[in-house]
Every structure is written in C-alpha cells, then in structure tokens.
Structure 1
Amino acid sequence: MTQIRKSDIAKIKELDLLTYFKNYGPDELIRNGRNESYYLRHHDSLKLSNGMWYWWSRGIGGKTALDYLIKVEGFTFKDAAIYLKDLIQNHPPTKHYPSRKPNLPFRLPERNDSEYKVFDYLVNERCIDPNLVKELIKNGKLYEGKFTHDAIFVGFDEDHIPRFACRRSTVTNHKQDCHGSNKEYSFNISKSDNEVLHVFESVIDLLSFISIAMMYDIDYSSASYLSLSGISGNDQRISIALMSYLDRHPYINHIVLHLDNDPAGRASSSSIIQALKNRYDIKDKPPQEGKDVNDYLKILKKF
C-alpha cells in the first residue's frame, strides 16, 4: 500500500492549480483577455485568476490542484494525493506565478477643459438624466476627452485607483476600451453591502436604467450596477467583468440581467443564468421594448 508522508502532503499542497495545468495540461487552459486569468476547456465556468480558482456553476473554489481533483474531478483525498505525489516526483513542476498587471500600460486619456459636449450628448441625444451626468462628472467616473471630445467612463479598483476606461464617441458610433484597461474593473456604480446587482452590456444602458428609475422617483441606491463593456456573440463564457465583480462583492445574492434584445444578448443571458443559477437568485429582464435599455428610455421619453 502506498504511504504518503506529511512532507509529501506539504509539497502536494504547494501545487496551485495554474501551475498544475501549465506543467501537466496546458491545452486545457483558455486565456481570458489580456490579464493572467483562464477558463478550462472542459469546465468553461471554472475560472483561474490571481492564484485562485472558482467553479461558478457549482459555487465551489480553492487554490491547490489537490482541491481541484477532489472537488471537481471526484478523487478521494488519498487517490488525489498519490496521483500528485507521483506526478511531482517524476516530473517536477516549474512554478508559475500569475501576473496581476495588464500587459499594456494603462493611462487615462487626457481630459478636456470642459464637459459641455459630453453633457449635451448624454442628456439631449441619449436622454440620460442630467443630474446623474453631473454626479458622475463630480465623482470622476465620467469626463470629456481632449481633442476627440469622447465620453470617457472610468472604472476604479478597491483603493479608488483608475484601472479601466472606455470611450464613447459623441459624434459617431465608435466605442472601445482604452489601451491597458483591466476589464475586471469595468465601469460600475456600487455600494459594498448591496445585495442586488443589475447587469448591462454597456455604460449607456446602465445609465439609461438608472434614468428610468429617476423618472418614476424610484430609489436606485439600494442596488449596484455593472457594465460588462460589451459581449461577444461567439463566446458563451461568462464575462470577466461579472466574475471579478462578484469575487470582490460577496454580499451580492440577487442578479438581474438587462442584456440586449438580440441573439448575442439572449445567448449571453442564458449562459450566465446556467452558470450562476446554483449560487445566485438570478433573473433575466431585457428591455420591454427596443433593442437595448437606451432604446427603451427613448421610447418612454417619446424621443
């Protein structure tokens, strides 16, 4: 009978899951965006990020390969320990250290001297509530880019350091994330202890939803709001913006999806519900009319 010593167990527990797959199963890893985070090919709701892993569809996670083999692959503790002991002895792994930094340097676009064009665009073309726009400008979440006069929406980390920005042209349909942006900190309006999270494809839709609430004198401060900064119709995995947000906000237990009324939006909503339904109370509430929430706001305003 194979014996496992305490020293063997200690070495086994040092093997994190990313190092395990980098050494023994690299084809299983699917990189997600520019940051050092991954999904697994055969468990596409299992995410590896910042040295940890989390299986969203089952609501379980951990750090080590030992945890993974027991909780995900169904090994007994003894079988998993023996397997990893032999693997480490016969093929010593090279430690892989995850990087928390984007590959590209992040720098906010230069700010214009005024926000006149952005204010005019959001209020008069997009029907966003003017008081909401003023509040975003005041707290640094929105400003007007110099030269281009784009609307720049900013996402912050836990220390209120800008980590993400996306730009929306005020004269064309152009929109994109700024270079070096960390999508884990996509634009959001949040309070740390809120239990309800509303999720949108774009910042404009997020602001449109809050504007609708303000139209009807509904207090929106008891919930939090997250923009995914776009979705891909060909990618059925969960957005890193949503997964990372939920990692950082453990109080969330209700999620309301307001993605677009198009094939990509409907498919993405279905994927999110399938992956998270065992952990969260999750509802799908696309706009009642129009393609997206901003369309619906315009309809209500009879714009």
Structure 2
Amino acid sequence: MAGQKVYRHFTDEEIKRANSVSLIDLARQYGFELESGGNKALHAKKSGGLYIFKDSNRFYHWTADEKGGPIDFVMKYGNLAYQDAVAQLIGECYEAYVRETVHYEKEEKGPIILPDKAENFKRAYWYLVSVRGIEPEIVSVLMNEKKIHQEAKYGNCVFVGYDENQTPKYCSMRGTYANKAFKKDMTNSDKTFPFIIEGKSDLVFACESPIDAMSHATFAKLYGHDWRQDHRISLGCTWDGALEKYLQWHPEIKRIVFALDNDYLAKDKDNCYRNWGQMAAVKWCDKYSEKGYEVAIHKPHLNDFSEDLVETRKGKSPEDLVRMREETLKAEFEKDAVDEPNIESDLEEIEA
C-alpha cells in the first residue's frame, strides 16, 4: 500500500539535547576550516561570513542573514528537514508509522475573470510612479500593453500575466492606499504564467512580484541602461514554475539572474531566521546551472528592489541602504537578546 512517513513529536528535553551538540564540532564535520573570529567567535574560511560563537553555541551567517543553533545549522548545511535534523543530532529513530496516502488529482482551473477596469488609470499610475518610484515610461508602456490597469471599484493596481495566445491566465491586485496594505490573486490565477517585461537579449531577471520587476527595470534606466534590453518576469512567489514556462517560450535565453527578496528579518514557526528569498535563489541557481544556464544572484540591499528604489528616490546611496539594513538587524538582535543574552555581545565583537 502506498504510504507516507509520519514523524513523532520530539520532547523539549530532546530538542534541548540536540541544541547542546557542539557547533564547533559540527562545523568541522561539515568540512569547514575554522579560524579565529575574535575572542568569542570562530570564523569559517570561504563560507561567505559564517561565524560560530563559543559561549552561546550558536552561529550567524552574514551573507544569508541567518542565525541559529545546532538544529538550524544541520537543517541549513545538511539540507535536512527539522525532524531529520533533530533525529540526527540525538542519534535516535524518528519514524513513528506509515499511513495511507490519499490520491490527489489536480483540479482543473476555470477561466480567470479580470476585475472591471476604471474609466482611467490615474490612481494606479500615481501610486506606481509617485509612491513606489517607478519610472513613468515603464508604467505607461506596460499599461499600453494591457499588463497593468486600475480596478474600477476600489482603485487597486491590477497586474496580468498572459499565455502564448495573449489569453489572461494570471492576475494579482495590489492596494494603492499607503495605510491599508492589500494583496490578492484573483480566483483561478495560474502562477505558471508570469507578469512579463519582455526583452531582446539572452538574459532574464527573475523577481518575486510585478512591482519588484518594474523597480528593477527602473534601476536599469537610472544607471543609464536600456530597460527594455533584458527580460524581466515576476514569479508571483519564490516558486520557479513561471520561469520554466518563460524559458520554454524563449529558448534564446542563456543567462538567468535571480533578483529575489532579501528576507533578512523573516522567521519561521520556530522563531528562527529564514531568508526565504535568498534560500530560493541559491536553490534555483543550482537547478538551472545544472541545466546549462549561466546563473547569478542580484540581492537587494533592503527587503526587495521596490524598497531599495523608494529609499533611493529619497536620496539614499547604496551605502546608506546597507547601513539601514545593519541598523535594523542590530535592533532585531537586541530584541532577541532578552532570550539570548550572549548573542548581542558576540555580534558586536564581529562588527568591531
């Protein structure tokens, strides 16, 4: 009988035992060569900024903006699920039983119904240009291509993705009121059909949202490049289904740059930092490099390229953005230090 593994619940004592395993020993087992990183820390050579703290038995990775204990370390560097990581650290079996798998059949999506268009798109245009800092030319071109319009009822921005026959297949909406965040995908939206800024080269930039893609194109124009030269698409998430579809449509593309979010403050259900955007970028780089593409990662200074653009429009330099991120991180770590008294001084030592 077909089945799936179900994992038993680990007790607080077992989790504590797993997190008591020496991180220094673990790092060496994973092949890292450690050197002095200060009185309280060891630095892993050629790791992109991995530090192991002696007193707190925790790690911090500057490039990925991730930290944690032994369980998090094994999950990250052993590429294991939570249960597998705990089981490995305490050396015990974690499988409880095998239960029957329910057969799943994909439900066919019905046709997508786009929101009614407003008589004019003034509010959506104002929001994208004046609030989000996107170049007017870019917004106008995409509106003329029917990829952006304004919803009649509430004035939301509507972003549309089409299939190869120019039939709408994906639609997301974004609120235009600064004090009222609103995001929604329309019923029957299919994320395998991306929001597209079509280019002419063999290079595509993969972003998470339509506004990120437009912000990225704006940066290209601000730096004197032709924003229509390269392709830019929105994945609508960190899944690569839309990229696979776009590559099928454009076999001439040989280079992929993942311009995904920099979720440096994101946490999972266990309150551990998880930079989901950059983790996905690394994952997709591995996948597509094996397929023969030339791959790279373009990482925003703040959370995403839209946020970078908004601050740039205020006169902030790239150095200012890095400083803003570091100050935000430091404030977050100071808040965490209530539960982790050793980590704050460890981080301050590395900064020094």
After TM superposition, the score normalised by the length of structure 2 is: 0.54
| Unpaired runs of at least 5, structure 1 | 1-23, 28-97, 232-237
Counterpart of 1:294 in structure 2 is 306
Larger Rg: 2
Q: Residue 281 of structure 2 aligns with which residue?
A: 269
Pair 1:229 & 2:236 matched: yes
Report the counterpart of residue 217 of structure 1 in structure 2.
224
Query: Partner residue of 1:91?
Result: none
Q: CA deviation at 1:106?
A: 0.9
Contact 1:197–1:226, Cα closer than 8 Å, also in 2 = yes
The alpha-carbon distance between structure 1 residues 26 and 142, as it changes in their structure 2 partners (threshold 3 A), is farther
**1:196 aligned onto 2:221:** no
Partner Cα separation in structure 2 for residue 163 and residue 157 of structure 1:
6
**Can you list the C-alpha shifts for 1:234-273, whole angstroms capped at 9, x where unaligned?**
xxxx421122222222111100111111101111111101
Establish whether residue 125 from structure 1 lines up as the match of residue 131 from structure 2: yes
CA–CA separation in structure 1 for the residues paired with 2:3 and 2:184: 31
The aligned runs of 1:242-261 (5 Å cut-off) are 242-261=243-262
Q: Secondary structure at the match of 1:165?
A: strand
Distance in structure 2 (CA, Å) of the matches to 1:184 and 1:158: 12
CA distance in 2 between partners of 1:272 and 1:25 (Å):
30
What is the alpha-carbon distance in structure 1 between the residues aligned to residue 108 and residue 154 of structure 2? 25
The structure 1 residue matched to 2:114, chosen from 105, 108, 115, is 108
Counterpart for residue 154 of structure 2: 148
Q: Is the 8 A contact 1:165 1:186 kept in 2?
A: no
The aligned residue for residue 8 of structure 1 is none
Q: CA deviation at 1:136?
A: 1.2
Deviation at 1:285, TM superposition (A): 1.1
Q: Please state whether the residue corresponding to 1:295 is helix, strand or coil.
A: helix
Corresponding residue for residue 7 of structure 1 = none
Structure 2 gap segments, 5+ residues each: 5-104, 264-274, 316-352
TM-superposed deviation, 1:217: 2.5
| Other-structure match for 2:194 | 186
CA–CA distance in structure 2, aligned partners of residues 240 and 187 of structure 1: 12
What do the CA deviations read for 1:117-144 (whole angstroms, capped 9, x no partner)?
A: 1011111110011111111111111000
Residue of structure 2 in register with 1:47 after alignment: none
Question: Runs of at least 4 residues of structure 1 off by over 3 A?
Answer: 24-27
Shift of 1:186: 1.6
Q: Aligned in 2, Cα 1:266/1:161: closer, same or farther, shift over 3 Å?
A: same
| Matches of 2:252 and 2:305, distance apart in 1 | 26
- 8 Å Cα contact 2:173-2:185 kept in structure 1: yes
Deviation at 1:104, TM superposition (A): 3.3
Identity %: 27
> How far did residue 102 of structure 1 move?
4.2
Contact 1:102/1:181 (8 A) holds in 2: no
Amino acid at match of 1:243: E
Q: Does residue 169 of the first structure (1) align with residue 170 of the second (2)?
A: no
Alpha-carbon RMSD across the aligned residues, in angstroms, is: 2.3
CA distance in 1, matches of 2:249, 2:184: 24
